[in-house]
Structures are given as structure tokens and as C-alpha cells.
Amino acid sequence: MNAIVKSMIANLHAKPDEASELVDEVLYGMTVQIMEDIDERWVRIQTAYHYEGFCQKDNFIVDKTKTDTWRQEANHFIIQSFADVLQQPRIQSAKMMTLVKGSIICSITIDELDPEWAAVQLVSGEIGYVRKKWLQEKIPENSLSEQQLRENVVQTALSYLATPYRWGGKSPLGIDCSGLCSMAYMLNGVTIYRDAKIVDGFPIKEISLEHIQKGDLLYFPGHIALYIGDHLYVHSSLGGNEVTINSLDEQHEQYRKDLATTITAVGSLFCRYTH
């Protein structure tokens, strides 16, 4: 059975228990597959990027037809850290809900709407309004040049700078290392594996460190970072408590020896140089 997330953030747990480990967050408007009905409160789900866990049922609209339609028609991401959906296209209007960066929404055309504003359809079918510059049209996979995609991925990752570290998180409220890297790619039309490892069946392939370029991924034991060029990388650092930039260059003030000396792999979407 297919379902759409109707909460701002749906927590994905390791067990059907609120006290269990948070393994991921599924954001508003994302679609999931319901794999198993556990009890009156919990279901086991699989995300569109093949991650599995347990979620509370009240996070979803469960309806195959609606989900299929939403998947085809929900054509925009929220790119502002937080965006209020308002009842009217004016600042003073009442708020319908708040969405975080990465949420999926359906943009609709309304004649004679102020160009500052966009009309959006919520999962519930209600119509609301957000500032147009807070929306980004979904980028179809393979539609960007290599150079553009590399640049976009870096800029997207950097837009999360100073976001607090949250185990299992992937929003501006809190994000973990693989959440940061997977969102940087997802917002640019590419689905990569959600954890700190290279997995067959996903588009990241191993390359040698000497061939690393901006937008490639650095893997460490239990950690992942995104390379931004000039020996620098951005990552959601448990040690630093937030999304931050560090360096592989031991002469640099942002050098972290514990990471620079424990690289286990380098991964790239653009695999001319296989390992």
C-alpha cells in the first residue's frame, strides 16, 4: 500500500516504539510504501530511496490512487529552511502549516497572483500560499551537466551550515552526516544511499582519493562528508555538534587529523576513474 507523509516530519524508528532509535526522518509530501501493518498505531514502511523502519500511522494519508497522483503532480521542493504555508498570499495571513527544506509540494497556477507568491496544493487537497522564491522545481535525474550538478550539490550542502547535529535527522531542525549528503543529492534529482557506506544498486561508485572533485563523497568509519574543493569538506559532525567545514590539509586551521587519517573510501557519481 502506498502513502504520503502529511506531517512536517515523520520519524522513522528502529522498532515500533517511540523510545527506540531514530533511524531517519521522512519529510512532508514524500511518498512511502507500507510494508507491514504492525498494530493500531504502527506500520513498517520503505521510503522511495529503499530505507526501512517503523512509523506511526497518523503521519500518513494511506491511499494508493492519491499517492500515485501526488507522485506525478507534486513537482516542487521547499528550499527555504522553514516555510509557512499561508491561507492567503499575504504576510499577515493565518498559517496552515510549516514545512522544512526538502518537503515536497504541488505548485499550482492561479491567474493574477502576485508574482512574489506561489499557490500550492497540500497533501490534504487544501490550497495555500508560499513565497515563490522558497520553491524549487524538482530537477529530473540526469538533466544537469556534470559541472552543474557538482556545483549544485556543494551549494545545497553548504545551505545547511550550522544546522545542529541530530542522529537520524535530515532537516534544518537537525541533520546527521548521511542525511546531509543524501539531501544535497536528492534536492538535485539524484537518489544516493542514506547511510555512510557505498552500496551496490545506488549510483555512487568508489574512486581513488587522487581523483576527488567537488561534490564527491568521503567515507570514514561510521561517517560521511561531502568534498567541496581545495581540500575542504562539509559534514554534519558529531564532534562539532553541527554542520561545519573541515580540511584534509594538515597545514589548515580547520584540519581534523582524526578524519583525514581514517578515510576508508571515496565515492563519486561520475565514475571515469574506478578504484
What residues are annotated to the active site?
177, 223, 235
CA-angle at 178, arms to 270 and 191, nearest 5°: 45
Burial degree of 241 (CB within 10 A; 0-12, 13-18, 19+): exposed
- The span from the CA of 37 to the CA of 188, in Å, is 33
Sequence-distant (6+) residues with CB within 8 A of 116 are 89, 131, 132, 133
Pairing of strands 223-229, 217-220: antiparallel
Sequence-distant (6+) residues with CB within 8 A of 212 are 218, 227, 266, 268
Q: Are 44 and 38 in contact (CB under 8 A)?
A: yes
- The span from the CA of 196 to the CA of 184, in Å, is 14
